[in-house]
Amino acid sequence: MFNKYKFVIISILVFLIGFFGSYFVLSLTQKPKTIDKTITASGTDEDIQAPFEPINNLESYNLALLGSGGEGHSGGTLTDSIIVVSINSKNNIVSLISIPRDLWVPGNRKINAEISANGFGGLKSTLQGITGLEVQNYISVDFTGLTRIIDDLRGIEVNIPKTFDDYFYPVKGRENETCGMSNEKIAEFHQKYSGFELEKQFTCRYETIHFEKGLTKITGEEALKLARSRHGDSDFGRSARQFAILKGVLGKLISTDALNNIDDIYKSMGKIVKTDIDLKTTKDLVKTFGDPNSYKITEIQLSTTNVLNEGKSSAGAYILFPKAGNFNFSEIKSYLAK
């Protein structure tokens, strides 16, 4: 007999599979414009616009679907994939709202660091301030642990959005390799370069990875590389790849092959899924929203093509901020409402 925790996870998966199993990849057809604009990141939490009134019924429900790099990954505690799933049972509409990880938020930080600073509750409040939607619950997935799930599933089929090469994918365990260079040469590089340009000089720390566009079967390790790769295309492309992987996992979970490995799957699942959805809420969601096939699904990518600008923080970090002004999320709320 499944324990309570396993039942919750199964119900969540059924819920997500039903709504997103056939449509989980964002349509990313435009690259963000390059804007040569630097802002001084300033302000307090009071600068954030007041959110809409909280929703106290299940006609509308908003869930934060989160992804992080996980153990052994640089920045593994950062939430690099943030999707607000907004479900309206009255109008039978599901909206997938992608929030870029570099969005600058009150507290003078990128939104991908919000959980580290203020916990999951803090991130939910921040998302509400940005979107005007009360985020009732969250599901957080560790992409490192996700490799174990994929291997338990004996691989998954993924529809890779575009062909790309990453010539600087970090090799685990080689982060501090000197690549045979002398101390003098290393000191010379440190004087000449900084940031990623400095790291690129240590070629032995990296490997080249290549993925072709289209449907292909991948292992857990290959999925991790596909999800983490930062230099093959943009952050927006990276989000699309992560969506494709999640779609592949969800599709495989309902296949016959998955049923033969159910014990291993749920043992691994408990290590990678964090959520504040309790058993009663899960049952209410499944009961309230009914047949997922009756819903229209829309996807919204907040980017420089609509409501955001590019800039730099006072420390020089790349950030995204609202076109309406730093910490002014009113235009974003209006855009989402429309």
Q: What is the CATH number of the domain that holds 122?
A: 3.40.630.190
Q: For the chain, how many structural domains are there in total?
A: 2
Instruction: Provide, rounded to the nearest whole percent, the portion of the chain with pLDDT above 90.
Output: 32
Statement to judge: residues 70 and 198 lie in one domain: no
Statement to judge: residues 112 and 11 lie in one domain: yes
* 3-state helix/strand/coil string of 32-73: CCCCCCCCCCCCCHHHCCCCCCCCCCCCEEEEEEEEECCCCC
Statement to judge: residues 200 and 231 lie in one domain: no
Statement to judge: residues 185 and 311 lie in one domain: no
Statement to judge: residues 113 and 174 lie in one domain: no
The model's pLDDT over 99-151, given as tens digits with 9 standing for 90+, comes to 988 999 999 999 999 999 999 999 999 999 999 999 998 888 777 777 777 88
CA distance 299 to 25: 9
Identify the pLDDT of residue 289: 75
Q: Give the rounded distance of the alpha carbon of 278 from its chain centre.
A: 22
Statement to judge: residues 136 and 249 lie in one domain: yes
Residue 256: exposure state from Cβ atoms within 10 A (0-12, 13-18, ≥19): exposed
| Contacts of 131 by beta carbon, 8 Å cutoff, 6+ apart | 84, 97, 99, 329, 332, 333, 336
Q: Would you place residue 75 in the very low, low, confident or very high pLDDT band (cuts 50, 70, 90)? A: low
Identify the pLDDT of residue 335: 95
| Contacts of 55 by beta carbon, 8 Å cutoff, 6+ apart | 61, 62, 133, 134
Cα 196 to Cα 180, 199, 320: the distances in Å are 19, 5, 20
Largest distance between two CA atoms of the chain:
68
Statement to judge: residues 62 and 205 lie in one domain: no
Identify the pLDDT of residue 228: 80
Statement to judge: residues 294 and 178 lie in one domain: no
Statement to judge: residues 13 and 154 lie in one domain: yes
Work out the average pLDDT over 85-100. Answer: 86
Statement to judge: residues 44 and 145 lie in one domain: yes
Statement to judge: residues 151 and 234 lie in one domain: yes
* Range(s) of the domain holding residue 169: 164-211
Looking at per-residue confidence, does 220 or 299 come out higher?
A: 220
Q: Which of 148, 179, 211 is the last residue of a domain?
A: 211
Reading the block at residue 105, the tokens are: 């938020």
Give me the chain's average pLDDT, please: 76
